[in-house]
Chain A
Amino acid sequence: MSEVSSHAVQHQAPTGFIRKHVFSLDHKVIGKQYYALALVAVVTGMMLSWLMRIHLVWPNAPIPGLHFLSKAGAPGNVMTPEFYLSLMTMHGTLMVFFVLTNAPFAAFGNYFLPIQIGAEDMAFPRFNMMSFWTTFLAFVVLMAAFFVPDGPPIAGWTAYAPLSAVGGDAGPGEALGQTLWGVSIFIFCIASLLGALNFIATTLDLRAKGMTLMRMPICTWAWFITSCISLLAFAVLMPACLLLILDRVAGTSFFIPSNLVISDRLQPHSGGSPLLWQHLFWFFGHPEVYIAILPAMGIVSHILINSMRKPLLSAKVIIYCMMGIGFMSYMVWGHHMFVSGMNPFSSLAFSFPTLMITIPATLMTLIWLGSLYGSKLRITAASLFALGFLSMFVSGGVSGFFLAQPAIDIYLHATYFVVGHFHMVMGVAAIFGVFAGTYFWFPKMTGHMMSESLGKLHFWGTFIGTYCIFMPFHYLGLAGNVRRYSAFTDDFLVPLIPLHKFITYAALFTGAVQLIFLFNLVYSRFKGAPAPDNPWECTSLEWTMPSPPPFDNFGGKHPVVYHDPYQYGMTNAAGGDYIMQTSPEASPTGD
């Protein structure tokens, strides 16, 4: 008992505004901070995509107010080709790093991982605070690129060398803007490594009594596996960014070979390899896809189990599949480089594991689908987004079959088919996981219920809208429409412009629908009905505590866990159809 009280003393809530809301050590505040940062990033990234979509179909039309964003990039409010590339680069970087890595993993993981395993906080609260503020610094550095004279970088979120490495000769934005990009991602890597270590240590060391690894909810597993992936992936991207920065500012030539003539100037570099950057980048870049999607898989599984009122056919299989995917994600990076000029034999070596990785992905889909059978599915905004995730994951997944095959990739590489594929599977599917998580956990995080009607309206607009945007991308790709073009002036691309117009309308519509979500978020935060402790009748630990949870989570007590979180479908002592993980009541299934 003395141990309990000493913990309670350590965990006195801070009273000052700064320690409470800004430099907070509380994992719940940090989780919300990550969420808020992701929200700012996603709104920015989405607005950039609108500008791009408008420019693509009306290349010469002025966009009112655009010159406020960049005088040089939009003279007379008409976007220049280089400014289009800047927006594209910033869109990709913001979305991949600051949204898809932050929201499903860092935000929800921070908030709920410690609670779901019965811990008072993360293992290293100061590291945790540092992770967030380092991420914030990375964000500020990236956004600063909008305000430097030559504007943001134009080399895409993949920053292929030597375009990204040689400096201002390669084009506007490739001067200071690209350096800021490199510095920002370098800082982001540090933050992610700190966060990943913290998640791993917390999961392994701070589980409550009775919380065996296999009793952790699937989303906890997903965050844990994701942190293991992050630890390896960002550990490679970080030095790669450092080398890129050195090439740019210190005159080294890691990624720049000799005899390059750029802007009529023979570059003073020799001996580097552009393919080295691609290998290092994609060694991070492919696992990054799983860093974005695994937490969404976990969140969706958690919500589906709760909404179906029955366990999955096998939670173990889902967990092993996620481990398998995490492990295999390191063997497939070369499938981004089939036509890059690397040894064509290695293309085959990368193609097989890429096709193999569809086995765990298919298996997970089958388990989710098969589990729906015979359930008592409750339709809520959260469960609709979880079901929408399944549909999107399948749609985005099957196009992977094409791109995994080097021969087909010869034709489809660098077309909109690829853009459609990754937007659906890692963008939209992951974001659906975030939406599902938001509707599900908002009552716990704020103490207020979200409006279900607005949530459902948001779902329908988003579900139909995103299909209207991203399914046609595949058609464009099949017709050979190449990506990263700021205008379609080629003869063969001109007939595709009507389809592009349709996509632009769909994108503007879907974007507008997100206003419903933002409104719901803000309105419910202040005016939403008070949330009970366990509105969804869910079994995991976060639902044993008040909404919102107190500062030290369990009020100084140490929860004891008796069951796995899949105890649904029976009749409990109170007449409900579930047994809490912390309930000592015997379960008919035995665990």
Chain B
Amino acid sequence: MGKLFAVVVVVIAIASAVPIVMHTWAPPVDISTHGHAIDEQLKDTMVEAGISFLGAQLVLAFFVWQVAGRKDGPIKTFPGGARVMVIAAILLVGTEILALGVLGQKAWADVYFTPAKPDALQVQAQAGQFAFYFRYPGVDGKFGALHPDKIDEGNSNFFGLDPEHDMDSRDDVVTGELAIPVNREVHLLMHAKDVGHSFYVRELRIQQDFVPGLDLSVHFTATQTGRYEIVCTQLCGLGHYNMRAYLSVLSPDDFDKWMKEKAAQ
């Protein structure tokens, strides 16, 4: 039965690797300027983890095949004993950590340690149970202040703006869809209305939580026009599975046209 175990382990190991090698369920095409670094790192990690996975499973299968049910002959010790294992573990994993951990920090740094450019398009995203809303500052380039007590979804005042008293908020454009121009950096200011939510666009390789009480932001540049789903990935209540919005990446002309239409509404 030990030999059967060995065969099953080999079959499982190979069967597990096939969809990975064939890219059967691969991440969608990256449409951001920073995403290739993440994808590269994912690929490198996949190679290293894949080798470790297959190596360990095959060795397990091979040894079990050899020794299962063995009755005769002396007990043998692996040449070199524990010392070899200690050295191997430190060297193998150590170099892996150096390669992935140190070199790979660049991808993280691209997203989080470089500030958004001053001319980036500023958009505020608000997450609330169970919808996203987006706000553009309008021609004055200034966001009006938020007044949580004035939030009134019935009258479409999703952000709690006070246009009567607040000049800055009068030209703010509020939408349910995030439209951005292609190849221009977007600085997304994130605001949570009620509980924790998250902003996840697979194609953009961006995921960031909305945390109530914290002003967080992310910045990114989309490189391909198209329509993509924005989904909430932080459990936020019963409608969590249905909390989504769309990201439209438009050509600069289309974006200006869209902005004018929305401003006119």
Contacts and interface: CB of A to CB of B under 8 A. Distances in A.
A359 B207 CA distance: 29
Interface string A355-382: 1101110110111011111111111000
Interface residues of B, number: 102
B239 A379 contact: no
A501 to B, nearest CB: 14
Interface string B61-88: 0011011111100011110011011101
Interface in B88-141: 88-90, 92-94, 96-97, 100-101, 104-105, 107-108, 111-113, 128-129
Given A264-B153, A275-B214, A401 B9 contact: no
User: Could you say which of A262, A352, A401, A415 has the most chain B C-beta atoms within 10 Å of its C-beta?
Assistant: A401
Name the interface size band of chain A: 35 or more
User: Could you say which of B25, B37, B202, B242 has the most chain A C-beta atoms within 10 Å of its C-beta?
Assistant: B25
A415 B202 CA distance: 11
Interface stretch (B50-58, B162-170, B177-185, B249-257): B50-58
A163 B196 contact: yes
A478 B27 contact: yes
A410 B25 contact: no
Contacts of A259: 146, 148, 213
Contacts of B104: 405, 407-408
Nearest to A413: B207
Interface in A80-104: 80-82, 85
B2 to A, nearest CB: 5
B42 to A, nearest CB: 5
A479 B20 CA distance: 11
A80 B238 contact: yes
Interface string A368-406: 011111111111000010010011001100110110111
A510 interface: no
A314 interface: yes
A263 B128 CA distance: 10
Interface stretch (A14-22, A138-146, A341-349): A341-349
Nearest to A257: B213
A492 to B, nearest CB: 6
B211 interface: yes
B112 to A, nearest CB: 4
B108 A377 contact: no
A239 B81 CA distance: 46
Contacts of A314: 81-82, 85
Nearest to A359: B93
A182 to B, nearest CB: 16
Nearest to B63: A372
A262 B64 contact: no
Contacts, number: 317
Interface string B202-216: 100111111111101
Contacts of B81: 313-314, 370
A81 B213 CA distance: 27
A166 B209 contact: no
A340 interface: yes
Contacts of A309: 75
B38 A408 contact: yes
B97 A170 contact: no
B176 interface: no
B241 to A, nearest CB: 4
B70 A377 contact: yes
A23 interface: no
Contact of A480 (B27, B151, B216): B27
B240 A339 contact: no
A395 B64 CA distance: 17
B69 A348 contact: no
Nearest to A376: B70
B211 A369 contact: no
Interface of A: 80-82, 85, 154-156, 160-163, 166, 170-172, 174, 256-264, 266, 272-275, 308-310, 313-314, 317, 339-341, 344, 347-348, 351-352, 355-356, 358-360, 362-363, 365-367, 369-379, 384, 387, 390-391, 394-395, 398-399, 401-402, 404-408, 410-411, 413-415, 456, 460, 463-464, 467, 471, 475-476, 478-480, 482-492, 496, 499, 568-569
Interface of B: 1-2, 5, 8-9, 12, 16, 19-20, 24-28, 37-38, 41-42, 45-46, 48-50, 52-53, 56-57, 59-60, 63-64, 66-71, 75-78, 81-82, 84-86, 88-90, 92-94, 96-97, 100-101, 104-105, 107-108, 111-113, 128-129, 146, 148-149, 151, 153, 160, 193-196, 198, 200, 202, 205-214, 216, 229, 231, 233-242, 244
17 contacts: A85-B237, A160-B196, A162-B195, A170-B195, A257-B214, A260-B194, A275-B211, A341-B216, A367-B82, A373-B63, A375-B75, A399-B49, A402-B42, A402-B45, A410-B206, A486-B241, A568-B75
Given A85-B237, A160-B195, 13 more contacts: A256-B212, A260-B213, A275-B211, A341-B216, A347-B108, A369-B59, A373-B76, A406-B105, A408-B45, A408-B104, A460-B8, A479-B25, A488-B241
Closest 4 CB pairs of A and B: A257-B213, A374-B76, A314-B82, A407-B107
